[in-house]
Amino acid sequence: ATPIGLLVGTGRGAQMGILIRGPQVLEDTRKLDTIVLDKTGTVTTGVMAHTGTRTVDGVDEATALALAGAVEHHSEHPIAQAIAAAAAAQAPLAEVTGFHAEPGGGVKGTVGTQLVVVGRPSWLESQGVTLDESARQMLHEAEQAGATAILVAVDQQFQAVISVADKIKDSSAKAIAELQERGLRVVLLTGDNKSVAAEVAAQVGIKEEDVFAGVFPADKAKAISALQEQGKVVAMVGDGVNDAPALAQADLGIAMGSGTDVAIEAADITLMGNDLHQVTQAIDLSAKTLSTIK
Ligand code: ADP
Ligand code: MG
């Protein structure tokens, strides 16, 4: 039978906007020693803005942005929305056929007769795009500036680097400090590039060795199981479609209420306030509830 105290605890949680799937979740919460955080949409707002476009010689910036934006318009990814919004602000978006989104990679589609591929380097390469030294240099410079740099290829020719950036949530640094004060190790896990991840980590007080960047969606779950194999009891906090396998793999999956349905379905706890401070609250609630029961 379920102790009544645990039910009271989940009820308390609900009042605080912390939706707990079942009473046993509170017991699992007490055993945690490692909290893994997704970056985009979890530590940061996930609301990205376009900050610049750089093109190869002979390619017009507005044209490159327009093509990328037309294709990205069909993706729900925050990066896609930023690029589509910037493109739409300069001219109406063109029609796209054959749209495909590759989770954790990017998108592709045909505009007129042109095949447009947009996303991270490995995604472009998987589509037969060769990235030469100057392309890599442009990418590197954009990333050094702290941006998430997205590459654009047209008919398999590299054409542009589009920079997007988002903001760290006001509450993140304090919430992460609270978790660390409770003796928890806080890890940042992201598909985004190393320099952006390192910059965000530094701003919120996560140690450099606790940053796992450039991780593909399938490997996010593997990163969790690797920690579990070291004997860690792990909570994963995320919001995206790409976080769902990791949320399911973790001892405790925690989704942002603003997150995708897939993430919420995979999670044990949903935070309606979209705020990492609620992770601390859930942990404190668990400790308090269990000590009351004993
Ligand atoms: P995160 O782990 O930060 O939530 P994702 O796993 O969703 O990030 O994406 C990882 C990387 O894949 C992004 O940083 C970006 O380079 C690329 N990417 C994914 N989706 C898109 C898209 N729709 N357009 C452009 N790039 C994308
Ligand atoms: Mg995310």
**Of the candidates 120, 146, 165, which is a domain's last residue?**
165
Give the pLDDT band (50/70/90) at residue 293: low
- DSSP code for 256: E
Same-domain status, 35 and 64: no
Same-domain status, 37 and 177: yes
234-238, strands of its sheet edge to edge: 18-20, 269-271, 252-256, 234-238, 34-38, 185-189, 211-212
Which residue(s) pair with 178 in the sheet? none
Of all atoms in ligand 1, which is nearest to the CA of residue 101? 23
Helix axes 277-293, 172-181, angle to 10 degrees: 30
Same-domain status, 176 and 38: yes
The pLDDT, as a whole number, for residue 294 is 56
Same-domain status, 84 and 108: yes
Q: Residue 126 maps to which CATH number?
A: 3.40.1110.10
Among protein residues, the one whose CA lies closest to atom 25 of ligand 1: 119
Percent of the chain with pLDDT over 90: 81
Q: What is the distance in A from the centroid of ligand 1 to the CA of 287?
A: 36
Same-domain status, 56 and 124: yes
Active centre residues (catalytic): 38
CB 279 within 8 A of CB 42: no
Torsional class of 214: left (φ above 0), alpha (ψ -120 to 50), beta (otherwise): left
Instruction: Provide the whole-model pTM.
Output: 0.83
Q: What is the distance in A from the centroid of ligand 2 to the CA of 104?
A: 10
Higher model confidence: residue 61 or residue 2? 61
ipTM, 2 dp: 0.95
CB 270 within 8 A of CB 257: yes
For residue 262, the ligand closest to its alpha carbon is: 2
**Of the candidates 110, 144, 165, which is a domain's last residue?**
165
Domain span holding position 249: 4-45+167-293
Give the count of alpha carbons within 13 A of 71, CB side only: 27
Please write down the HEC assignment for all residues of 19-46: EECCHHHHHHHHCCCEEEEEHHHHHECC
**Of the candidates 112, 138, 165, which is a domain's last residue?**
165
* Chain segment 196-227, per-residue pLDDT in tens: 999 999 999 999 999 999 998 889 999 999 99
Q: What is the distance in A from the centroid of ligand 2 to the CA of 190?
A: 8
Same-domain status, 230 and 259: yes
The pLDDT, as a whole number, for residue 175 is 97
Q: Residue 226 maps to which CATH number?
A: 3.40.50.1000
* Chain segment 5-41, per-residue pLDDT in tens: 888 888 999 999 999 998 889 888 889 999 999 999 9
Same-domain status, 190 and 243: yes
Q: Which two tokens stand for residue 52?
A: 């610049």
Domain count for the chain: 2
User: What rounded mean pLDDT belongs to the chain?
Assistant: 94
Same-domain status, 28 and 8: yes
Same-domain status, 267 and 203: yes
Same-domain status, 288 and 182: yes
Tokens 């992770």 -> residue: 279
Same-domain status, 36 and 63: no
Same-domain status, 39 and 56: no
Q: Which of 158, 161, 131 is nearest to 148 (CA)?
A: 161
Strands (DSSP E) along 155-200, which ranges?
A: 157-165, 185-189
Q: What is the distance in A from the centroid of ligand 1 to the CA of 104?
A: 5
Ligand 1: list residues with CB < 6 Å: 38-40, 72, 75, 77, 79-80, 101, 104-107, 118-120, 148, 150, 190-192, 217, 240, 242
